[in-house]
Amino acid sequence: MSLLKEKLEKGEFVITSEIGPPKGVNIKPYLEEADKLRGRVTAINVTDIQSGVMRLGSLAVCHLLKERGIEPVYQLVTRHRNRLALQSDLLSAYVLGVENVLCLTGDHPALGDHPQAKPVYDLDSVQLLEAAKRLNEGEDMAGNPLEGKPQLFLGAVVNPGIEPLEPEIIRMKKKISAGARFFQTQPVYEVDKFAKFVEKVKDLKVPILAGIVLLKSAKMAKYMNENVPGINVPQELIEEMASLSKEDRPKKSIEIAVRLIRKLKPLCQGIHIMPLGWGRYVPGVLKGAGLV
C-alpha cells in the first residue's frame, strides 16, 4: 500500500519534496539528493519533462527511487502522450511498484527547448484522472476489461491564489469526482489568501499539501509575479532577497520557507517543497520548521 495514501487517510501531516530528472543520463547526483531526504519526507515527486524541456523520463527515476526504498510520486502530463500511451504508462508504473500518480496537463512545448514539437493534449488532467480511475476499477477507457487491475493513488494540482477563485474550485471538484484523492498546490507566499481558499473548500474533505518554492533571488520572485498566474510574492519578501549577496541568498531563502511553513501548517494536511535545483537546502528547511 502507498505510504503516502496510508498517512493521508490516517490524517497525519505529511511532507513531500520534488526532484527534476537530468537532461541526460547522469542520474547519480539526483539520487544522492533524494537519499538526503530519506526518512525526512513521506514521498518525492519526480517531474515529467518539466516546462517542456526534454529530460530523462519521470517513470524511470520513480522506479530507481522505489528500488532505493524512497516513496515516489509519478508526475504524469498529457502534453505529449495520447490516451493509449497514458493508460499504458499508468499500468507500467504500477507494475514497477509506483502507486502514487499526480495527474497534470503540462506546459505547452512552445515554452520548452523543442518549440517545434507537436503537442498532443488528447486528454486534459481531469480526463486523465478519469482514465486512471477506470483502470483502478478494472477497465480501460474503451470499456475493455483488464487482466489484473492496478490500485493507483491519484492526486492533482490546485492553484489557491488564482483570481477569480471560483472556476478553480469548480475544477477542483471535477478532479475529485474524477478520482483525485489529494492535492498539491502551486507555490504559496500569501498565507491569508491561502487561509481563505482553505475555508472555501473545507467541505470537500480532501487532503491539501501547500506548495513551497524556495526563492533563489529577487529576480526569480519578480518573474513569477509577472508570468505565473495565481502566484504573488509579496514586495517585502522581494526586498529581503534583493538586499543580499548571492552567497547569503540560500540562508534567507531557507528562513523565508521556514516562516511560511510554520504559518501554513495549521491550515493544511501537508507541505510540498519544490526546491528547483536547491534540494541540498531542503533538510535545513525541514529542521528549521520543526518537521524532522
CATH number assigned to the domain comprising residue 202: 3.20.20.220
Domain carrying residue 195:
3-287
How many structural domains compose the chain? Answer: 1
Closest of 19, 133, 136, 126 to residue 78, by C-alpha = 126
Strands (E), the chain: 14-19, 43-46, 72-77, 100-104, 153-158, 182-187, 208-213, 270-274
The pLDDT of residue 190 = 96
Residue 292 pLDDT level (bands cut at 50, 70, 90) = confident
- Structural domain contains residue 161: yes
What residues pair up with 77 in beta bridges, in sequence order?
Answer: 104
Per-residue confidence at 243, pLDDT binned at 50, 70, 90? confident
Confidence of residue 87 (pLDDT cuts 50, 70, 90): very high
The answer to whether 22 touches 30, Cβ cutoff 8 Å, is yes
pLDDT in tens, 109-162: 999 999 999 999 999 999 999 999 999 999 999 999 999 999 999 999 999 999
Specify if 172 maps to a domain: yes
3-state SS of 173-226 is HHHHHHCCCEEEEEECCCHHHHHHHHHHHHHHCCCEEEEEECCCCHHHHHHHHH
Counting every residue written for the chain, the total comes to 292
The answer as to whether 45 is a domain residue is yes
Q: How far apart are CA 181 and CA 207, in angstroms?
A: 7
- Cis peptide bond upstream of 22, omega within 30: no
The verdict on residue 136 lying in a domain is yes
For residue 154, list its beta bridge partners: 101
Residue 103: per-residue pLDDT: 98
Domain presence at residue 292? no
C-alpha cell, 17? 519534496
- The per-residue b/e assignment along 132-164, b for 16 or more CB within 10 angstroms, e otherwise, is bbbbbeeebbeeeeeeeebebbbbbbbbbbbee
Q: What are the residues whose beta carbons fall under 8 Å from the beta carbon of 277, sequence distance 6 or more?
A: 20
Bridge partners of 182, per DSSP, are 155
Give the chain's mean pLDDT.
Answer: 96
Residue 37 lies in a domain: yes
What percentage of residues in the chain have a pLDDT greater than 90? 94
| β-strand partners of 139 | 145
